[in-house]
Amino acid sequence: MWNVQMVKDLRQFNVYIKTASKAIPHREELRKALSLWGTFRLGEKIPSLKLKELLGERTIAAVDGSRIEYASFYPYSLVLLRTLGKCTGREDLEKSKVITPLHAETAALVYKKKEKEGIGEEEAYRLYLKEELAHLEILTALEIAEKYKPCLLMLDGGFLLFDQFAEWRKLYKFCLENDIILVGIIEEVATSVLAKWLDLRLDHSLRIYDREILFGLLDKGEYLLFAADKNIKKNYHTVFARLGSLPQAIGCDFLAEQREKITQAMNLLYTLTPRHGQGIPLWLQITDAKVRLRKKETEKLIENCLEPELRELFFRANRERRAF
């Protein structure tokens, strides 16, 4: 049962964020201001015959990854990573990795990251896992690009997640040389750039993120393309789009050298996205569903591979034995 103080705190927070949201200008005012730095464009659904003609013998590809943890508490953690490259009409490409800080090599890498970042050991481990999954995804993307040379290659996440790895430069170069449109699909926009451009200031401490500004800003099928010199991150071109019925926008990262292909790419993405939904291209959703690691399946796998005594020794938390 919830206590009185918890209810009171949540209601106060509700008032707090409601007040903050009122500080965001109205829709038409925002659109007018953002038009100084970009263009609002309406995507087009490509008819099936024209789509076949556009693609020819080429394909659409997507890469996604999944992570699941079997653990009691740090460092008694066993993490499974899996990535999937899925290309229309072609064989899937899959990679996987098992990570645990109980392994001396992993422990050393985590400690090195802890010292470099100046953070706690468990936090360093979480960061290490995030980077390892992103690295595995880039390796998968590079392999699927080289093997199938798709027309469009979708990554799950923005380019900043991947460009720290040496393989990123290889993928970048290969896509340019082979006319592969590379796009990073950002389901949850978490940047905070537009508020600075718009010079939005609040009288309180709540920070305004691009998500709040973009919510309900775009019409269905519409996207916002900024001028070539207005980059959200590094030298990449980030497009904000509403490809589905929900009012929340997604982000799409493109390579600077492929700017002239953005209109074609956005029409493709819009065509691949169901009319009703969260606005994510269907092929990426299918890839996500297929690569996802599920708890019951993971537990069965580990039970088949690890002896019961070892599972009990290293991974069974005492709290699991509580009567209540």
Q: What is the pLDDT along the chain (324 residues), one digit of tens a residue?
A: 678 999 999 999 999 888 878 878 899 999 999 999 999 999 999 999 999 999 999 999 999 999 999 987 899 999 999 999 999 999 999 999 999 999 999 999 999 999 999 999 999 999 999 999 999 999 999 999 999 999 999 999 999 999 999 999 999 999 999 999 999 999 999 988 998 888 876 555 567 889 999 999 999 999 999 999 998 888 999 999 999 999 999 999 999 999 999 999 999 999 999 988 889 999 999 999 999 999 999 999 999 999 999 998 998 877 766 666
With contact defined as beta carbons under 8 Å apart, do 153 and 181 qualify? yes
Determine how many CB atoms are found less than 10 A away from the CB of residue 86: 25
What is this structure's pTM?
A: 0.93
**Left (φ > 0), alpha (ψ -120 to 50) or beta: where does 266 sit?**
alpha
Position 200 scores a pLDDT of 75
Structure tokens at 286: 């299918």
Position 202 scores a pLDDT of 59
Position 17 scores a pLDDT of 85
Position 205 scores a pLDDT of 59
With contact defined as beta carbons under 8 Å apart, do 318 and 94 qualify? no
Q: Rounded to whole angstroms, how far apart are CA atoms 153 and 144? A: 9
2-38 confidence digits (pLDDT tens): 789 999 999 999 998 888 788 788 999 999 999 999 9
Report which of 262, 126, 127, 245 is spatially closest to residue 184, judged by C-alpha positions.
262
